[in-house]
Amino acid sequence: MHIETDIKLDFRDVLIRPKRSTLTSRSEANITRTFRFRHSEIGWTGFPLIASNMDTIGTIEMARALSKFDALVALHKYYSVEELINFFSTDASHNAFFTVGTSSEDWEKLAKVKAKVPVPMISIDVANGYTEQFLSAIAKLRLENPAAVIMVGTVVTAEITEALILAGADIVRVGIGSGSVCTTRDLTGVGFPQLSAVIECADAAHGLGGHVCSDGGCVVPGDIVKAIGGGADFVMLGGMLSGHVECKGEIVHETIDGQQVPKMVFYGMSSETAMTKHHGGVADYRAAEGKTVKVPFKGEVKETMGQIAGGLRSAMTYIGAENLKEITKRTTFIMVNSQRNTVYG
């Protein structure tokens, strides 16, 4: 047994110190970034936010809405071959990851779609990115898709980040247990505070010309700024994009103070709800590692995206960053005991 005594940080443990700035207007802050990847021959330019491949979030409707912001979607795994061929024949496909797990069915589906239309970006999604099989799956996917942008995860430590990049990943997804509907930490005691995970993995990835995506734990736009400040090249969102028209969540009405309030069902991909929907129930040998919640119905996602882009631009003027890469260079985190004035909630 070993104890690491340096404290690892979450977004709520820090704020960003303001810095002298020459930006006179938020409109001067550029939230579009151009990427060249470690392995892929394809570059990508856009707003590096990714809707998570959860089945209520990573939808085709979300992909269409976010492509208007040049942002990305990791499509969920449960679309049919026909639906995917139709989707990847459109322009929105430039801003979407095709998601696979490690099962042969998923890979066969990818092969069928690729036989008809180009699939420029692929994400391999596993809950635990620390297995030997995962490394060999990445190497195989890279061999079969030399030009594709490949994103893999999830992990939370530097050495495995390096191993995944050397195996063929362009982008490593960082985050275990920080998701809004995740119960992994309660169930297993395993996890890593998100901001420190991003800082450590980004440092490792960037040393090799790789990139990282902070996955999970953002609850307000400022958390996205903190993730980028810590070195995240991309930020993946689940909960913050939940409850919108573009989500595939069931709408239910709750009576609150005599009023009918619309809510939307949102659940983790390892929750009992998801496992019942896609696998006919929770297998005997495992327990659910996700929860099911009802979130307020928030209307169209463009409103939320506007808030996020506005928060980011404002942060950039506070620290004098003209573009996203400069956010990391100009970030000094200060550790805090409280985030904000809570007198009115």
Active-site amino acid positions: 182
Size of the site for ligand 5GP (CB under 6 A): 25
Is 73 annotated as contributing to ligand binding?
no
List the structure tokens of 292.
């099911």
Residue 179 interacts with ligand 5GP (CB under 6 A): yes or no:
yes
**Which 259-298 positions form the footprint of ligand 5GP (CB under 6 A)?**
268-271, 289-290
Residue 56 interacts with ligand 5GP (CB under 6 A): yes or no:
no
Rounded-to-integer distance, Cα 7 and Cα 187, Å: 22
Type of residue numbered 13: D
∠ CA 116-124-221, nearest 5°, is 110
Is 222 annotated as contributing to ligand binding?
yes
Q: Which of 336, 330, 228 is nearest to 18 (CA)?
A: 330
Q: Shortest Cβ distance from residue 50 to ligand 5GP (Å)?
A: 8
Contact residues for 180 (Cβ-Cβ < 8 A; gap 6+)? 216, 217, 219, 238, 239, 242, 293
Is 122 annotated as contributing to ligand binding?
no
- The single residue among 65, 121, 182, 225 that binds ligand 5GP, judged by CB under 6 A, is 182
- The single residue among 48, 221, 238, 249 that binds ligand 5GP, judged by CB under 6 A, is 238
Q: Shortest Cβ distance from residue 192 to ligand 5GP (Å)?
A: 13
Is 220 annotated as contributing to ligand binding?
yes
Q: What are the DSSP E strand ranges found in the chain?
A: 14-16, 33-35, 44-46, 49-51, 72-74, 96-100, 121-125, 149-155, 171-174, 211-215, 234-237, 251-256, 259-267, 292-296, 333-335
Query: Nearer Cβ to ligand 5GP, position 93 or 184?
Result: 184
- Convert 237-257 to b/e letters by CB count within 10 Å (16 or more is b): bbbbbbbbebbbbeeeeeeee
Q: Which of 157, 154, 132, 113 is nearest to 269 (CA)?
A: 154
Decide the pairing of beta strands 251-256 and 72-74.
Answer: unpaired
**What is the pattern of x (binds ligand 5GP, CB under 6 A) and - over residues 117-146?**
----------x-------------------
Residue 232 interacts with ligand 5GP (CB under 6 A): yes or no:
no
Is 226 annotated as contributing to ligand binding?
yes
- Position of tokens 């977004």? 11
- The single residue among 193, 239, 243, 249 that binds ligand 5GP, judged by CB under 6 A, is 239
- The single residue among 48, 168, 217, 249 that binds ligand 5GP, judged by CB under 6 A, is 217
- What's the DSSP call for residue 172? E
Residue 229 interacts with ligand 5GP (CB under 6 A): yes or no:
no
Query: Nearer Cβ to ligand 5GP, position 150 or 319?
Result: 150
- What's the DSSP call for residue 182? B
Rounded-to-integer distance, Cα 38 and Cα 161, Å: 13
Q: Is the dihedral of CA 68, 74, 76, 80 positive or negative?
A: positive
Q: Shortest Cβ distance from residue 242 to ligand 5GP (Å)?
A: 7
Is 230 annotated as contributing to ligand binding?
yes
By the 8 A CB rule, do 222 and 182 touch? no
Query: Nearer Cβ to ligand 5GP, position 114 or 217?
Result: 217
Query: Nearer Cβ to ligand 5GP, position 114 or 211?
Result: 211
Residue 216 interacts with ligand 5GP (CB under 6 A): yes or no:
yes
- The single residue among 152, 160, 163, 236 that binds ligand 5GP, judged by CB under 6 A, is 236
Q: Which of 335, 326, 311 is nearest to 17 (CA)?
A: 335
**What is the pattern of x (binds ligand 5GP, CB under 6 A) and - over residues 5-44?**
----------------------------------------
Tell me the binding residues. 177, 179, 212-235
Site residues (vs ligand 5GP, CB under 6 A): 52, 54, 127, 154, 175, 179-182, 184, 215-218, 236-240, 268-271, 289-290
